[in-house]
Structure 1
Amino acid sequence: MKADRRAVLGIGAGVVAATGAGIAYGFRGQPLPAGELSGADMARGHRLRDGGFPAPTRQDAVDLVIAGGGVAGLSAAWRLKDAGFDRFRLLELEDAVGGNARNGRNAVSAYPLGAHYLPVANREAGALRHMLRQFGMITGDRDGVPVYDPEQLCADLQERLFWQGRWQEGLIPRTGLSSHDKADLTAFETAMRDFSARVGGDGKPAFALPTAYSSRDDDLRALDRLSFAAWLDQRGWRSPVLRGHVRYAMRDDYGTEPGEVSAWAGIHYFASRRGWAADGAGGNELTWPEGNGRLVAAMSARFRDRIAAGHIVHKVTRDGDRLAIDSYDAGAKTTLRTTARAAILAMPHFIAARVAPEIGSAKAHSYAPWLVANVTVDRLPEGPGVPLAWDNVSTTSNSLGYVVATHQGPNAIAPASVLTWYLPLSDMPPAAARRLLVERPAEDWKRIVRDDLLAMHPDMDDAIRRIDLWRWGHAMIRPTPGFLARADTDRPAPPLYLAHSDLSGLSLFEEAHYQGVRAAEAAMTQLGHAHESLL
Structure 2
Amino acid sequence: MKAEISRRGLLAAAGAGAGMLAVSGCTADAAPMPGELGGADLRRGHQLRDGRFPEPTGPVEDVPLLIAGGGVAGLATAWRLADAGFRDFRLIELEDQAGGNARGGRNAVSAYPLGAHYLPIPNREARALQHMLRQFGMIVGDRDGAPVYDPYQLCADLEERLFWRGEWQEGLYPAIGLSAADRAEREAFGAAMANFGKAVGADGKPAFAVPSAYSSRDPSFRALDRMSFAAWLDAKGWHSPLLRAYVRYCCRDDYGTEPDQVSAWAGIHYFAARRGWAANGDGDRELTWPEGNQRLVRLMAERVAPHLATGQSVFRAKVEGAKVLIDVFDHRAGLSRRIRAGTAVLAMPHFVAARVAPERVARGGESYAPWVVANVTVSRPPGGKGAPLAWDNVSTASESLGYVVATHQSSSAAAGPTVLTWYLPLSTMAPRDARRLLLERTLGSWQALVRDDLLQLHPELAGAIQRIDVWRWGHAMIRPVPGFMAGAPARMDEAVRPPLMLAHSDVGGLSLFEEAHHAGVSAAEAAMRHLGHPFETLA
Partner Cα distance (1:83, 1:29) in 2 = 53
Partner Cα distance (2:36, 2:44) in 1 = 19
Question: Are 1:496 and 2:492 matched, yes or no?
Answer: no
Corresponding position of 1:515: 519
Partner Cα distance (2:511, 2:215) in 1 = 16
Partner Cα distance (2:459, 2:415) in 1 = 21
Offset, 1:289:
0.2
Corresponding position of 1:185: 186
Question: Are 1:204 and 2:201 matched, yes or no?
Answer: no
| One-letter amino acid of the structure 2 residue matched with residue 55 of structure 1 | E
Offset, 1:23:
3.6
Partner Cα distance (2:317, 2:234) in 1 = 46
| Structure 1 residue matching 2:345: 3-state secondary structure | strand
Offset, 1:29:
13
Question: Are 1:7 and 2:4 matched, yes or no?
Answer: yes
Question: Are 1:126 and 2:130 matched, yes or no?
Answer: no
Question: Are 1:351 and 2:352 matched, yes or no?
Answer: yes
Partner Cα distance (2:302, 2:497) in 1 = 31
Corresponding position of 2:51: 51
Residues matched between the structures, number: 531
Matching of residues 154-169 of structure 1 within 5 Å? 154-169=155-170
In structure 2, relative to structure 1, the CA distance for the partners of 1:277 and 1:104 (3 Å cut) is same
Does structure 2 retain, via aligned residues, the 8 Å contact 1:23–1:451? Answer: no
Corresponding position of 1:38: 38
Corresponding position of 2:446: 445
In structure 2, relative to structure 1, the CA distance for the partners of 1:363 and 1:104 (3 Å cut) is same
Partner Cα distance (1:507, 1:47) in 2 = 25
Partner Cα distance (1:55, 1:122) in 2 = 46
Identity rate, percent: 63
Does structure 2 retain, via aligned residues, the 8 Å contact 1:315–1:325? Answer: yes
Matching of residues 34-183 of structure 1 within 5 Å? 34-58=34-58, 59-183=60-184
Offset, 1:319:
2.4
Matching of residues 84-483 of structure 1 within 5 Å? 84-483=85-484
TM-score by length of 2: 0.96
| One-letter amino acid of the structure 2 residue matched with residue 514 of structure 1 | H
CA offsets per residue over residues 55-89 of structure 1, 9 Å max, x none?
Answer: 11133221100000000000000000000001000
| One-letter amino acid of the structure 1 residue matched with residue 502 of structure 2 | L
Does structure 2 retain, via aligned residues, the 8 Å contact 1:102–1:293? Answer: yes
| Structure 1 residue matching 2:63: 3-state secondary structure | strand
Worse overlay, 15-24 or 512-521:
15-24
Partner Cα distance (2:294, 2:8) in 1 = 27
In structure 2, relative to structure 1, the CA distance for the partners of 1:281 and 1:147 (3 Å cut) is same
Partner Cα distance (1:318, 1:352) in 2 = 14
Does structure 2 retain, via aligned residues, the 8 Å contact 1:44–1:93? Answer: yes
| Structure 2 residue matching 1:475: 3-state secondary structure | strand
Partner Cα distance (2:172, 2:83) in 1 = 39
Does structure 1 retain, via aligned residues, the 8 Å contact 2:13–2:20? Answer: no
Does structure 2 retain, via aligned residues, the 8 Å contact 1:23–1:448? Answer: no
| One-letter amino acid of the structure 1 residue matched with residue 515 of structure 2 | E
TM-score by length of 1: 0.97
CA offsets per residue over residues 215-237 of structure 1, 9 Å max, x none?
Answer: 11211000000000000000010
Partner Cα distance (1:225, 1:348) in 2 = 24
Does structure 1 retain, via aligned residues, the 8 Å contact 2:344–2:500? Answer: yes
| One-letter amino acid of the structure 2 residue matched with residue 179 of structure 1 | A
| One-letter amino acid of the structure 2 residue matched with residue 56 of structure 1 | P
| One-letter amino acid of the structure 2 residue matched with residue 373 of structure 1 | A
| Structure 2 residue matching 1:315: 3-state secondary structure | strand
Offset, 1:18:
3.6
CA offsets per residue over residues 143-202 of structure 1, 9 Å max, x none?
Answer: 110000000000000000000000000000010111111111110001001101112221
CA offsets per residue over residues 461-502 of structure 1, 9 Å max, x none?
Answer: 100000000000000000001122333246474111100000
In structure 2, relative to structure 1, the CA distance for the partners of 1:492 and 1:130 (3 Å cut) is closer
Does structure 2 retain, via aligned residues, the 8 Å contact 1:109–1:289? Answer: yes
Worse overlay, 121-130 or 29-38:
29-38
Does structure 2 retain, via aligned residues, the 8 Å contact 1:7–1:188? Answer: no
Offset, 1:442:
1.4
| Structure 2 residue matching 1:157: 3-state secondary structure | coil
Corresponding position of 2:12: 16
| Structure 2 residue matching 1:438: 3-state secondary structure | helix
Partner Cα distance (1:28, 1:311) in 2 = 38
| Structure 2 residue matching 1:373: 3-state secondary structure | strand
